[in-house]
């Protein structure tokens, strides 16, 4: 299996990630480039590692995160499914074992909000990592925060930590939000569905899920 580090430096992989991010930039979405891809992969791998999954499974989660949004090169609509097919083609071309290809494509194909489902540990970890990546640096232009609620909420997030406690079987998303930029309710206005997905994904991993915003537990 080609490692995460080799794939991250692969020119073709980088081209897909850059092109997908360019599409989302053009239609007004937050950053979905290499920074988001790597953070998602690293967080997904960390979740499974702390919960005791083997190194191979953790590496599959990391690679799933790296590739999860490349389907946006085709279209934002159904990007999880098209991304899974693209990932399958890219990984097979690099000599991957078919079982590993299946693991990654299954996770990618189940990560989008409307069709997401924690069907495997890798898929569950990918959902948790992807949906919890809310941060100021994902906002491309500060002048959009007044009119765009997604940019405003991301810009208001001062810090975001996805914490995993293996001994307690607990996954906690801890956020610090500048309420002078947006009220906490706006976070839930756009991300409640994602937080429900995180809760279900944590349950698939036999964990409880909590969200703490400004030192107050809200879920």
Q: Say what the pTM is.
A: 0.97
Domain encompassing residue 26: 4-217
Residue 38 to residue 40: CA distance in whole angstroms: 5
Element (H, E) at 133: none
pLDDT (tens digit, 0 to 9) for every residue of the chain, 219 residues total? 889 999 999 999 999 999 999 999 999 999 999 999 999 999 999 999 999 999 999 999 999 999 999 999 999 999 999 999 999 999 999 999 999 999 999 999 999 999 999 999 999 999 999 999 999 999 999 999 999 999 999 999 999 999 999 999 999 999 999 999 999 999 999 999 999 999 999 999 999 999 999 999 988
- Token pair for residue 93? 């071309």
Beta strands in the chain (DSSP E): 157-165, 170-177, 208-213, 216-217
Q: Indicate the SS3 state at residue 130.
A: helix
Q: How many domains does the chain have?
A: 1
Helices 79-93 and 55-67 cross at an angle (nearest 10°) of 120
Give residue 1's pLDDT. 83
Residues in contact with 57: Cβ distance below 8 Å, sequence separation at least 6, in sequence order: 48, 103, 121, 122
Q: What are phi and psi of 94, to 5 degrees?
A: -105, 20
Residue 154 to residue 163: CA distance in whole angstroms: 19
Residue 174 to residue 171: CA distance in whole angstroms: 10
How many CA within 13 A on the CB side of residue 10?
A: 18
CATH of residue 38's domain is 1.10.3210
- Token pair for residue 33? 């480039």
Residue 168 near residue 210, CB atoms below 8 Å:
no
Give residue 168's pLDDT. 96
Residue 135 near residue 157, CB atoms below 8 Å:
yes
Q: What is the DSSP letter of 45?
A: H
């Amino acid at each position: 299996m080609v490692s995460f580090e080799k794939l991250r430096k692969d020119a073709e992989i980088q081209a897909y990630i850059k092109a997908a991010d360019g599409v989302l930039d053009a239609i007004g979405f937050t950053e979905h480039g290499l920074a988001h891809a790597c953070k998602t992969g690293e967080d997904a791998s960390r979740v499974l590692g702390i919960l005791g999954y083997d190194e191979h499974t953790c590496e599959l989660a990391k690679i799933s995160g790296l590739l999860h949004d490349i389907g946006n090169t085709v279209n934002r609509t159904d990007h999880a499914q098209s991304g899974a097919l693209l990932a399958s083609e890219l990984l097979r071309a690099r000599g991957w074992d078919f079982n590993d290809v299946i693991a990654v494509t299954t996770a990618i194909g189940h990560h989008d909000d409307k069709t997401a489902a924690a069907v495997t540990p890798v898929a569950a970890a990918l959902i948790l990592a992807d949906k919890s990546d809310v941060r100021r640096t994902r906002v491309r232009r500060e002048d959009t925060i007044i009119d765009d609620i997604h940019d405003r909420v991301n810009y208001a997030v001062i810090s975001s930590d996805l914490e995993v406690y293996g001994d307690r079987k607990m996954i906690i998303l801890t956020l610090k939000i500048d309420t002078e930029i947006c009220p906490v309710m706006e976070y839930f206005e756009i991300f409640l569905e994602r937080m429900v997905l995180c809760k279900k994904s944590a349950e698939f991993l036999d964990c409880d899920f909590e969200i703490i915003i400004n030192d107050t537990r809200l879920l």
